[in-house]
Amino acid sequence: MNSILVAENISKKFGEHTALSNVSINIPKNSIYGLLGPNGAGKTTLIRIINQITYPDKGHVLFDGEPLAPEHIATIGYLPEERGLYKSMKVGEQALYLAQLKGLSKADAKKRLEYWFERLEIGNWWNKKIQELSKGMAQKIQFIVTVLHQPKLLIFDEPFSGFDPINANRIKDEILELKKQGTSIIFSTHRMESVEELCEYIALIHKSEKILDGKLKDIKKAHKNNVFQIGVAPNNTAVDLGSVLQEQFVVKQALYNREDENWELSIQLPSADTSHLLASLTTYGNVNHFEETIPSANDIFIQTINAKSNE
Amino acid sequence: MSKLGLIIKREYLAKVRNKSFVIMTFLSPILMVGMIVLIAYLTKVNDSESRTIAILNQSDYFSNAFTPTESISYVSFKDITLEEAKDSTQSLDYYALLHIPKEDSLEETAESTFLYAKDNPNSSVLNRLEGIFEQRLRQARLQDLGISKKQFATVDTKFQMHAGTFKGEENLKGINELKAIIGGGFGYLIMMFIIIYGGFVMRSVIEEKTSRIIEVIISSVKPFQLMLGKIIGTSLAGITQFTIWIISASMLLFVALLLLNIDLATLTQGQPLGPGAMAGMGDFADAKNQKMLLYAAEFFKIPWVLIVVSFLIYFVLGYLIYSSIYAAIGAAVDNETDTQQFIFPIILPLMLAIYVGFFSVFSNPHGPIAVGFSLFPLTSPIVMLMRIPGGLGEGGVPIWQFVTSIILLILTFLAIVWLAAKIYRVGILMYGKKPTYKELFKWLKYK
């Protein structure tokens, strides 16, 4: 597979504390890769290793096929979770400074900044000081500075924090647009709905170990547990379908709600075979809803972590 | 521009554009000159106070002995009693009353003379009066012995031991102290610079931590580059400030002195000598001028080039050592209040260098303490500079000591910067931890 980044058997200790233990990930080119895990799992350490802020004790990282080296810094864009700007510096000056540190020439940086300031409608902020801006405004500057040097790999750590819903959406669209242009993106967040929306691949890190990774679709498929949402328009309202089915299957309240006259239930089957259930349902009425429940990223996250913790 | 260059430029501009920096830069010389002018002015006012002394001379001696000076004038009472004279002195608000009673001989007259004043008479007044009496008594005794004034002048000799080095250079009294003061001045400058600008470096690091920009920046540059750029940028701002201070302060001082018509010579000479001493030295005026010339010659013989060159060496190395420690402290803490426990151990060697260095170099520039402190890397930038004005090589600082101290300083510089960079690299990414020395030691072992 053509990968932008391969990390192999990465281990990292801080004194007695193990931050990462034998973690391997493989990030395909031009994908959005979700790096998930509870607080303190080791995500930030992994990201810092990719950014060469710290170095692994063991293992190695390949960037675009080559061993990770200082010159790759210019082709990576990183938006850290703990982010800020110099408070007393002017917006334009500061953006120019950070862009130049990434290796852009001053003229180049200025041209691109003007484009992005225009694009995100903040052109008139150039001479404002950061301390005069709101948090969301400062986040926009951060975002621009991260993507300005057109990196091959973008790393976003909680990119939407501090944004109102409208601007968060705006930034999400920009991220998707960047992906369309061929950028690979690592996305670290706790907000599962944005994982669902954006990520094709995910890796789940828990207590310094990677406990799950792969294509989100495949993971979801693998985590299906034969739960179906059913709806039946009853022939005979005197019968309680729920208690009848309970003798054979695990029955719960349905996760959807369509109309009052319906029997609506959530049913877990012992296997993926649905013929038996369907056959019995038709005897009680007209089946008007039958859908397999695909677990959400959130469910998978909680399930996997809990399973691991109970081991 | 290289990344280091960019960082230096930003740090420099951030410092120089800071409002409080600008205010300090331009206000300090005015304050300093204001202080000097005020002191000079007050001294002048104090000196120009004129005192009147009433004299009740009932004797046959001392009739023309009292010639008024700038600060003392005399009034003679005639044909009144002592009691009346006392009353008049007080009612006329004169400074004092000098009573010279009638006695048989000059010696006895002098012995019974009494000075009445409201409270303890000023010592310069007393000195002056005593000088007059001494002179008269000396003359009288010489006459008794049958020696003329002229004869006396030929015998009255002042003697000064000529001392010099084996190489034949003449020594002058106090020149060692003068040299130590010059060297000490440079050493003091280094200490002030380290404390002020080291503090700036530290605060700047803390600001980057609290504003959370640090991780954004070190994903682009190496922490070491950032630390070095910060130290260099801040020190360039400091050099700018010092240059502005020196230039503007000397210009202001010149203008102020010109406007207020304060003679610089009176300031530097200090209190004028008492008349007694002057009387004896009058004949030696030429000799004294010669002496001044010798001092001036010695002053120019001080190895200024060597001083300036070693000042630059010691300044750069000393400042880099201390400011990288300051940077590491800034990285280790979350706010300035946590820095206290780490700051004290830094200030201590600096203070020791200034005070111990000053006293030991003053009394013996080549004594064991002076040598020890000028070799120890944390104090050598200051103490060696105090010794350097005495020259290098024979009679001055032995070359091996000079070289050893620089080598030690360079080695220490490398070691400290390496350690500081390690602490800095770990510290800037640590939040919410109050570090202990034990913790810092652990950080050194992180990869």
- Which residue is closest to A104 within chain B, CA to CA? B1
Flag whether B420 is in a domain.
yes
The answer to whether position A287 is within a domain reads yes
Whichever domain contains A73, its CATH number is 3.40.50.300
pLDDT band at residue B13 using 50, 70 and 90 as cut-offs: very high
Distance in Å, alpha carbon of B422 to nearest chain A alpha carbon = 11
Q: Is B433 on the interface with A (CB under 8 A)?
A: no
CB A91 within 8 Å of CB A129: yes
Q: Could you give the ipTM of this predicted complex?
A: 0.81
Q: Report yes or no: B220 and A102 within 8 Å, Cβ to Cβ.
A: yes
* B29 in a structural domain: no
Number of structural domains chain B divides into: 2
Cα separations (Å) of B91 from B87, B96, B115? 6, 11, 17
Could you say which of A55, A73, A80 has the minimum Cβ distance to residue B216? A80
Pair A14, A67 in one domain: yes
For residue B278, being part of any structural domain is answered with no
CB A61 within 8 A of CB A49: yes
Tokens of B405: 């101290």
| Minimal CA separation from B13 to chain A, in Å | 10
User: What pLDDT is recorded for position B278?
Assistant: 41
In a domain, B277, yes or no: no
A302 found inside a domain: no
pLDDT digits (tens, 9 = 90+) for B48-95: 667 888 888 888 788 777 888 877 888 888 888 888 888 888 888 888
Q: Which of residues 12-71 of A touch B (CB under 8 A)?
A: 14-15, 48, 51, 53-55, 57, 70
Determine the pLDDT at residue B261. 60
Which chain B residues are Cβ-neighbours of A131 within 8 angstroms?
none
Does residue B26 lie within any of the structural domains? Answer: no
Predicted confidence at residue B48, as pLDDT, reads 64
- The answer as to whether B243 is a domain residue is yes
Q: Are residues B187 and B84 in the same domain?
A: no
Along the 311 residues of chain A, how does pLDDT read in single tens digits?
A: 588 999 999 999 887 888 899 999 999 999 999 999 888 888 989 999 999 888 899 999 999 989 999 888 889 999 998 888 888 889 999 999 999 998 899 999 999 999 999 888 888 888 888 888 888 888 899 999 999 999 999 999 989 888 889 999 999 999 999 999 999 999 998 888 888 889 999 999 998 999 888 998 898 888 888 888 888 888 877 778 888 888 888 888 877 777 667 888 888 888 888 888 888 888 888 888 888 888 888 888 888 888 888 87
Pair B215, B144 in one domain: no
Instruction: Give the pLDDT confidence of A225-260 residue by residue, as tens digits.
Output: 888 888 888 887 777 888 888 888 888 887 777 766
- The domain that contains A232 carries what CATH number? 3.30.70
- Tokens 């015998």 correspond to what residue? B155
Range of the domain at A16: 3-221
User: Is B33 a member of any domain?
Assistant: no
Domain-ending residue, one of A194, A221, A248: A221
A100 and A64 part of one domain: yes
Is residue B239 domain-shared with residue B351, that is, in the same domain?
yes
Q: How many domains does chain A contain in total?
A: 2
The verdict on A100 and A171 lying in the same domain is yes
Number of CB atoms found within 10 A of residue B415's CB? 12
pTM: 0.74
- Give the residue from B99, B124, B152 where a domain finishes: B152
Question: Domain of B101?
Answer: 51-152
Claim to verify: residue A83 and residue A165 sit in the same structural domain? yes
Co-location of B176 and B144 in the same domain: no
> What average pLDDT score do residues B131-149 get?
84
Express each pLDDT in A131-164 by its tens digit. Answer: 888 888 888 999 999 999 999 999 999 898 888 8
Q: Which of B118, B152, B186 is the last residue of a domain?
A: B152
Nearest to B213 among A14, A73, A85 (CB): A85
Cβ neighbours of residue B116 closer than 8 Å, sequence gap 6 or more: B86, B89, B96, B97, B98, B99
State whether A134 and A211 are in the same domain: yes
All residues at 6 or more sequence positions from B92 whose CB lies less than 8 Å from its CB, including other chains? B54, B75
Of B170, B223, B132, B230, residue with least CA distance to B427: B223
Q: Are residues B180 and B329 in the same domain?
A: yes
For the ranges B203-207, B328-332, B338-342, the lowest mean pLDDT is seen at B338-342
